[in-house]
Structure 1
Amino acid sequence: MGVDSRRDANQRNDNYEAASHTADWSRLGERIRAARKKLGLSLADLAEWVHVGEYTMGQIEAGEDDPGRRVIDLLDAKFGAEGVLADAWAQVYISHHVRSGSRVDQLQREASQIRAFSPLMLPDWYQTEAYHQALNRVERPMECTSYVADRPKLRSLMATGSGPPFHCLILDEAVLHRRVGTPEVMREQLAHLHRLAQASYITLHLIPSGTAHHPGLRGAFWTLDFSPRHTLAYTPHPRGPGALVTDATQIKGYIDLYATLQGAALPADASLTLLEETIEQAQPRKAITSGTTPDPGDPLAQHSSRHTRQRPAPAAAD
């Protein structure tokens, strides 16, 4: 096949994919328009209900705009669709991004629940900047640590921030003890993880070091839920953007594996206690004769002092 023939074939492919994308969103828009008319609502009424402009609502019904998960969930509830409309949107959303070659950071923005398992290091979302830079220095000693173009640009989680309604993280306990950077970097990272673990939309489970065997030793993976019936899996790589898993059988395998790992891990309350014990052990030890007090600027100083005050006094000797 000559260069011109290949170019023509690629152009036909692009045109076909663009047409498929438009047709998919158009069918979704038609379903929304039909449901609106069945309820006797005007376009303005529906736009007000989902808190978007009338023009935007018109673009959604015309198949020219992705409504996004927030709007589609409101529409699903308004129409009494019981998740059917949300499933239809999720199918189109996933198909579009997979065909477009989107990376996980472009897809995850609309996920309703994200589950992550990591046996070696904290996932990018949970890392402090110092921890992240320390990892980069080890993995990429000859590259500028402030600019890594091939990794997904994942937004850091904050205990008071917003994001997908729910994150669940399973870690091997060894991750808490594996030194990355200086002791100060690790103390800051553990304190950050502790704050996140107390957030209302984040759950942490730890697999204790004494667990002889568990089925997650082959590596890290995530699952991303977009609707009750549509989930993707993802395997992060040390180089490049990682791999999205779209095969339904493999995705089911990852979902089952995650459930098994949760069974091997401690409950959330016990995991938080274990994390607090690890934080306390990571505190720098002061010399007995120094007379120094903990630095109030240390992110773990208050945590350590609180645990010290709560300890009961030793019993008096006979």
Structure 2
Amino acid sequence: MTFIGEACPTPSRTGVEHQVELRQQRQERLNRAGNPTRLRCVLDEAALHRLVGGPEVMREQLEHLIELSEKPNINIRVVPFAAGAHAGSKSAFSLLRFPENLNTDAVYLENERGAVWLERPADIEHYTTVFDLMSSRALDASASMELVASLASSL
């Protein structure tokens, strides 16, 4: 709850609690039995260095990423600082893919005042290209988790 509360200049307790609840519900989908949601995540290394909640909380968060990466439905990779500027440097986004029969792929962009959903094919194609370019600059999963473990142990 720390990040959500600190990242908003005028947080309301109920608003922060609602955001935390939504995130927890999304996380539960990664753990459901039978057919868990698949997650492919590419993080900029800068996100791993931002100390949120103090060293102990940050270490726990980094260790949690390592635990998640061990699940077969989750792939977490890091674009290292050494990669320089990359296509995803401008802003964070989530590219959501659904079964073909649903035909509802979308891009989710959070911002200061809420969120925006993009569903136009051209937008999905653009963000798919950005994701692919980021992926091409990222460390492989094993090297990514070595980096995360190194950062966790330094806290």
TM-score by structure 2 length?
A: 0.83
Do the aligned partners of 2:75 and 2:141 also contact (CA within 8 Å) in 1?
A: yes
- CA offsets, 1:189-213, max 9 Å, x none? 1111111111111100100112222
Q: Tell whether 2:31 aligns with 1:161.
A: yes
Q: Tell me the matched-pair count.
A: 149
Do the aligned partners of 1:233 and 1:251 also contact (CA within 8 Å) in 2?
A: yes
Q: CA 1:150/1:184 → structure 2, altered by over 3 Å: closer, same or farther?
A: closer
Partner of 1:244: 117
Cα offset, 1:258, TM superposition: 0.7
Alignment of 1:95-174 (within 5 A): 133-140=1-8, 142-145=10-13, 147-148=15-16, 151=19, 153-154=22-23, 155-157=25-27, 161-162=31-32, 164-174=36-46
Q: CA 1:281/1:225 → structure 2, altered by over 3 Å: closer, same or farther?
A: same
Q: Tell whether 2:86 aligns with 1:214.
A: yes
Cα offset, 1:188, TM superposition: 1.4
Distance 2:116 2:8 in 1: 20
Distance 2:79 2:121 in 1: 27
Q: Which structure shows the bigger proportion of residues in strand conformation? A: 2
Structure 1 vs Structure 2 CA RMSD: 2.5
Letter in 2 for 1:181: G
Where structure 2 has 5 or more consecutive residues not aligned to the other structure, the ranges are: none
Q: Tell whether 2:71 aligns with 1:199.
A: yes
Cα offset, 1:271, TM superposition: 0.8
TM-score by structure 1 length?
A: 0.43
Partner of 2:151: 278
For the residue of structure 1 that corresponds to 2:97, the secondary structure is strand
Alignment of 1:56-71 (within 5 A): none
Match of 1:190 among 55, 62, 67: 62
Do the aligned partners of 1:191 and 1:279 also contact (CA within 8 Å) in 2?
A: yes
Where structure 1 has 5 or more consecutive residues not aligned to the other structure, the ranges are: 1-132, 283-318
Identify which of structures 1 and 2 has the higher relative contact order when contacts are C-alpha pairs closer than 8 Å and 6+ apart: 2
- CA offsets, 1:2-30, max 9 Å, x none? xxxxxxxxxxxxxxxxxxxxxxxxxxxxx
Percent same amino acid among aligned pairs? Answer: 28
Distance 1:261 1:236 in 2: 19
Q: Tell whether 2:108 aligns with 1:234.
A: yes
Q: Tell whether 2:113 aligns with 1:225.
A: no
